[in-house]
Amino acid sequence: LALALPLTTAQAPAEKAAVALGSVIPAPSEVRPGGTAFRLTDRTVIEAPRGSRNVAERLAEALRPATGYRLPIVERSSSRKISLRTGHRDGYRLTVGRDEIAISAGDNAGLFAGVQTLRQLLPPAIDAATPQRARWLVAGGEIVDRPRFAYRGAMLDLARHFHTPAEVKRYIDEISRFKVNHLHLHLSDDQGWRIQIDSWPRLTAVGGAPGTGVDGVGGGYLTKAGYRDLVRYAAERYVTIVPEIDMPGHVNAAQVAYPELTCDGVAPPPRTDTAVGYSSLCIGKEVTYRFAEDVIRELAALTPGPYLHIGGDEAHATSEADYVAFQQRVLPLVAKYGKTAYGWNEIDQAPAAADAVLQYWNLEPTVTLRHASKVVLSPANRAYLDMKYTPSTPLGLSWAGYIEVRTAYDWDPTSYVAERAILGVEAPLWSETLRDLDDIEFMAFPRLAAIAELGWSPHRDWESFRERIRAYYPRWETRGVDFYRSPQIG
Ligand code: TNX
């Protein structure tokens, strides 16, 4: 299978088909091509210590379908091999020679990142689901790589349209290839409630019923068992799930299920439109805090990761004094159950946000931190994957502008706030207009890859990114990912 890639190594004629060592997204920190290529054959083995068995399995699972090779996982071997090793280092190091591809890293997450690099160094046919005739060459040389920011995130809105666990898993597969290591799930909003809470069962019985969602299309929710399964699946790919329950606004679905959560005790009508900013919990009622604490406690118990997101955005139906009073009581509840509070940038109005992580979604080019000291950047006019690419994009919204691929790529996180305040970057995908996985993929790719590169790579170079994305297209095509073919990429 002769794949005409624009980026090839010019080392030896026999190695022409190898992908250039640096043609990887996100761009690695250091790339040193040289030496002999490695050829993957039916005799190649995967060598890994017992403690890295999970990474070895992910690697084998990535390579077996298209090669048709057995690729046994062993603890020691003198055969030609791909070896995984943990030791002392930040990030990972990948060396390719005639007899061995060696990936070493400080921990399994680092090894997994190295494995994602290796996948992109093989020809695109490696992503096929059935055996392909191909020379599985990897160009010789060395990559030394480490993340710029600890948090590289994506967000999926399950509330406006529910997306099934199978769809979420497919999304995890795709984002983890770009070394994204957090998936934030927006689990409640005015239109629906998507996570089982035992102490408030009507939240899902009513808020997750068929027909809950924008336009009354969809419905559904995650049971606790389904949620735990997602957390485990994500963890096997070194992705931490960050759950979000949005309060004190965006709560209409909860109030439909439990009218006592409104001030007058009257249930509002269910909503299937896309308006925002009209609902609020009742700040003066004690039941509000029983509700918040029960939800936070149950969610914390489902969450092995450090962060619990409590929303806090667009609370236009809550007065500023009430908003601060609410956050002063609720933010500490997150700590009470052992988690770091995380919320949209509005929570910074409350002094209790001092220990919280802010997610910055506003458009102003400067972030002013009043109380918090850590921020995840998601400026809506750069990082929002639900904004249309151009006026003619059939899906998405445009309130924050149009975001072509270059707009998503060409910005510097440190122009918003000092580097030491940045925990990372996240690309949110709100799903008012998105019903299925094809819709999600079309809006996410290639822009998610742009945000992932900003979060990981020390350098940013549009021309280089453009070429690497262009070279990546056959991989999405092979996997049936419905990405947007931007005229900017060519
Ligand atoms: C604003 S940005 C919202 C969401 C909408 C989104 C649509 C933010 C924190 N809240 O409620 O879904 O715009 O782009």
Q: Is 469 contained in some domain?
A: no
Across the range 219-240, mean pLDDT stands at 98
The answer to whether the complex's ipTM is over 0.85 is yes
Q: Is 246 contained in some domain?
A: yes
Atom 7 in ligand 1: residue holding the nearest Cα: 430
Ligand 1 centroid vs 281 CA: distance in angstroms? 18
Atom 11 in ligand 1: residue holding the nearest Cα: 276
Q: What pLDDT score does 159 carry? A: 98
Which pLDDT tens digit goes with each residue over 372-420? 999 999 999 999 999 999 999 999 999 999 999 999 999 999 999 999 9
Catalytic positions: 314
Whether residues 253 and 127 fall in one domain: no
Whether residues 112 and 258 fall in one domain: no
Whether the per-residue pLDDT at 5 is higher than 60: the answer is: no
The whole-angstrom separation of Cα 39 and Cα 31 is 19
Q: Is 430 contained in some domain?
A: yes
Which phi and psi (to 5°) does residue 298 adopt? Answer: -70, -35
Ligand 1 centroid vs 249 CA: distance in angstroms? 12
Q: What pLDDT score does 1 carry? A: 39
Residue type, 317: A
Q: Is 96 contained in some domain?
A: yes
Across the range 254-260, mean pLDDT stands at 98
Ligand 1 nearest-atom number relative to CA 314: 10
Atom 8 in ligand 1: residue holding the nearest Cα: 313
Looking up tokens 């940045």 gives 422
Whether the per-residue pLDDT at 55 is higher than 60: the answer is: yes
Whether the per-residue pLDDT at 7 is higher than 70: the answer is: no
Whether the per-residue pLDDT at 295 is higher than 60: the answer is: yes
Ramachandran assignment for 478, one of left (phi > 0), alpha (psi -120 to 50 degrees), beta (any other): alpha
Residue 369: CB within 6 Å of ligand 1?
no
Please give the structure tokens belonging to residue 209. 């019923």
Atom 12 in ligand 1: residue holding the nearest Cα: 430
Whether residues 90 and 18 fall in one domain: yes
Whether residues 245 and 171 fall in one domain: yes
User: 109: domain CATH number?
Assistant: 3.30.379.10
Residue 276: CB within 6 Å of ligand 1?
yes
Ramachandran assignment for 394, one of left (phi > 0), alpha (psi -120 to 50 degrees), beta (any other): alpha
Whether residues 258 and 307 fall in one domain: yes
Q: Which of 122, 145, 168 is where one domain is finished?
A: 145
The whole-angstrom separation of Cα 117 and Cα 27 is 9
Please give the structure tokens belonging to residue 70. 């057995």
In percent, the amount of the chain with pLDDT more than 70 equals 97
Whether residues 453 and 338 fall in one domain: yes
Number of domains in the chain: 2
Across the range 355-363, mean pLDDT stands at 98
Q: What residues make up the domain containing 285?
A: 151-460
Whether the per-residue pLDDT at 330 is higher than 50: the answer is: yes
Q: Is 335 contained in some domain?
A: yes
For residue 487, whether the previous peptide bond is cis, meaning omega lies within 30 degrees of 0, is no
User: 435: domain CATH number?
Assistant: 3.20.20.80
Whether residues 36 and 166 fall in one domain: no
Q: Is 366 contained in some domain?
A: yes
3-state secondary structure 157-178: ECCCCCCCHHHHHHHHHHHHHC
Question: Contacts by 125-130 with C-beta closer than 8 Å and gap 24+?
Answer: 125/1, 125/3, 125/66, 125/478, 126/62, 126/63, 126/66, 126/67, 127/66, 127/475, 127/478, 127/479, 128/65, 128/66, 128/478, 129/65, 129/66, 130/65, 130/66
Residues 458, 464, 466, 472, Cα dihedral to 10°: -90
Q: Is 421 contained in some domain?
A: yes
Q: What pLDDT score does 161 carry? A: 98
Across the range 109-116, mean pLDDT stands at 98
Whether residues 289 and 410 fall in one domain: yes
Across the range 369-374, mean pLDDT stands at 98
Q: Is 236 contained in some domain?
A: yes
